[in-house]
Amino acid sequence: MFYYNFKYELKILLRSRWIQLISGLLLVLFVFASFNGSQKIEKRKAEISKAREAVKTSDARMLQQLDSIEKGHKVQVARWMVPTSPIAIGNYYPRVAAMDPNEMGFIAVGQSDVFTHYVSPRVSADDFSINFTEMTSPIQLLFGSFDLVFVLVYLLPLIIIAFSYNVLSEEKERGSLRLLASQPISIKKWVFQKLGLRFFWMAVIITVISLGVFLLNDVVSISGLLSFLALIFCYMLFWFSLAFAINLLVGESAKNALSLIGLWIVFVLLMPSLISQTGDIFFKIPPRMQMVQEIREHKAEAVKKQDEILDNFLRDHPEYAVNDSAQSRNFWHGYMASQNLLKEELQPLLSSYDEKLEEQQNWINKLKWTSPAIITQRALGRLAGTTKQDYDTYQEQVLQFAEEWRSFFMPLLFNNGVFTSELAKSLPAFEYKPKSDNYLVSSLLGLLVMTCVIMGVTVSMYSIRSKETGILGS
């Protein structure tokens, strides 16, 4: 029976042009969406490499100047930019701390349009002055991007619904259900096989198209492709299981379609917005203005007491006072010492914001299990490396690097040392290391569990009902 089902179903799908239509539609959507995604990635890559190029050029100039100075020649630069001064190097020759896109970046724009992908921390700037948000038209942020995640999370379920809402009801409406009921197969099994075959063909089409799209985007990681496909298949399974449930439990074609669309609205539109809103309501983040004002107060205080702060700093760091017999102190000594103090003082304030944000995130993380759309969106975003979590990791690493950059120059500054071409070789460099966790497995499991629950409930409900009214009764 399965063999017949397989054969005739394929014939029907081909003759009704469903397979052709879906292949064409998916091909167009996938290619357009991945083109949009990769366009952003290319732009990002170009910007980062341009910034790196600029550093290379200015480094070459710096080395040239250092070389001249070390040989005893005069150089033509403003006196505050002479590269023997450690502060000049720390301020005017910053490194590029960039977040390079990963090769799957094109599948999800995610938060990449909100945040910047490279910054250049300077020695005299504090952590609050590093602006991590990108200049993007807010309308663009409001509308979002037509990327693969949009196609997969929003549109794919609708295609599945259009592809499967009337599998059983059509037979009923055409009158062929009676013929079917006379066959040696249960209706349950028959719908299951029919939907299973549709799932199979759709999966085949998606695999082929994804393969093409990934090749076009030079993705070499096979595990990446497999994770991507596994996620889509599990998400598809969820929607097919809903279609199975509605087909067996509802009845008329139009009613089926309406019920499925209703479920789509709930899972894809309403749940995510409700959940993110509850996060805002239950875990209110204190207004950022309060933070800004406290920072300002601390800064004003620090400016007033700069001399005192410097004395205290030197007392805490006797190593700086020892090596230098001249003990000459200028503006930068006081400034850097007070920056140091400011950072320590403001740490608790900043952490309190981070904690609140984390609480909010944890809450959302718990609730995400109520909507497969959220699970899939997050997991795909993680694959692409463009979720808020990825940007948090990057920003954290940048702040660490900024600290490393400052610490490199602090001993030099306080010992009134001179920056040399030898030291230029050991300047700290930034490398972004993405954090990975087991989000993929848990997401896949979550989707599968949902599917199983829906299937189980449907089968048991259907059994009860068909015992009461019979297969043909309604």
Partner 1 sequence: MIKKTIHKELKELFRDGRIKMASIIVLLLMVTAIWISTNQYNRSNEQYEKAKVAEREVWDNQGEKNPHSAAHYGTYVFKSKQPLSLLDQGVDKYTGTSIFLAAHTRSEAEYSEVADQSELARFGQLSPDFILLYIIPLLIILIGYNSFTKENEMGTMSLLKSQGAVPWKIMIGKWVAIFLPIALMTIVLFVIAGILLSTLDGYTPFKWSSLFVLLLVYLFYYVIFINITLFVSKNVRKSGVSLVLLLGVWIISCLAAPKAASNFAESEYPYPTRQEFENTIAIAKKEGLDGHDPWSDAAKRLEKEVLEEYNVDSLHKLPFNFNGYRMQKGEEHEAAVYKTHYEKLKNQFEKQVDTYITTSVISPFLPTRLLSMGIAGTDYYSHWDFADAAENYRIAAQKFLNDDLAYNTKYGQRNYVADADFWKKLPTFNYQPPGLATIIKQNTFSILVLLAWGLITSALLFNFRTKN
Q: How far is the CB of 309 from partner 1 (least distance, A)?
A: 18
Q: Does 437 bind partner 1 (CB under 8 A)?
A: no
Q: Exactly one of 12, 28, 141, 226 binds partner 1 (CB under 8 A); which one?
A: 141
What character string, x for contact with partner 1 (CB under 8 A) and - otherwise, covers 219-258?
----------------------------------xxx-xx
Return the residues of window 283-302 that contact partner 1 according to CB under 8 A: 285, 287-290, 292-293, 296-297, 300
Q: Exactly one of 1, 2, 4, 39 binds partner 1 (CB under 8 A); which one?
A: 39
For residue 118, list its beta bridge partners.
Answer: 98
Q: From residue 236, how far is each of 50, 77, 164, 198 by CA, in Å? A: 41, 64, 12, 11
Q: From residue 108, how far is each of 36, 38, 297, 466 by CA, in Å? A: 10, 9, 41, 45
Q: Could you give the CA distance from residue 185 to residue 255 in angstroms, rounded to a whole number?
A: 26
Nearer to partner 1, 309 or 364 (CB): 364
Return the residues of window 144-173 that contact partner 1 according to CB under 8 A: 144-146, 150, 154-155, 158, 162, 165-166
What character string, x for contact with partner 1 (CB under 8 A) and - otherwise, covers 108-137?
--xx--xxxxxxx----------xxxxxxx
Return the residues of window 351-380 that contact partner 1 according to CB under 8 A: 357, 361, 364, 368, 373-374, 377-378
115 phi, psi to nearest 5 deg: -110, 155
Candidates 157, 203, 215; CA nearest to 38 is 215
Return the residues of window 384-403 that contact partner 1 according to CB under 8 A: 386-389
Nearer to partner 1, 202 or 271 (CB): 271
Nearer to partner 1, 294 or 317 (CB): 294
Q: Which two tokens stand for residue 178?
A: 């009676």
Give every CB contact of residue 79 below 8 A, 6+ residues apart in sequence: none
Return the residues of window 440-459 that contact partner 1 according to CB under 8 A: none
Query: What is the total count of residues that contact partner 1 (CB under 8 A)?
Result: 81
Burial label for 160, CB within 10 Å (0-12, 13-18, 19+), is buried
Return the residues of window 48-87 that contact partner 1 according to CB under 8 A: 51
- Burial letters for 462-473: b for 16+ Cβ neighbours within 10 Å, e otherwise? beeebeeeeeee
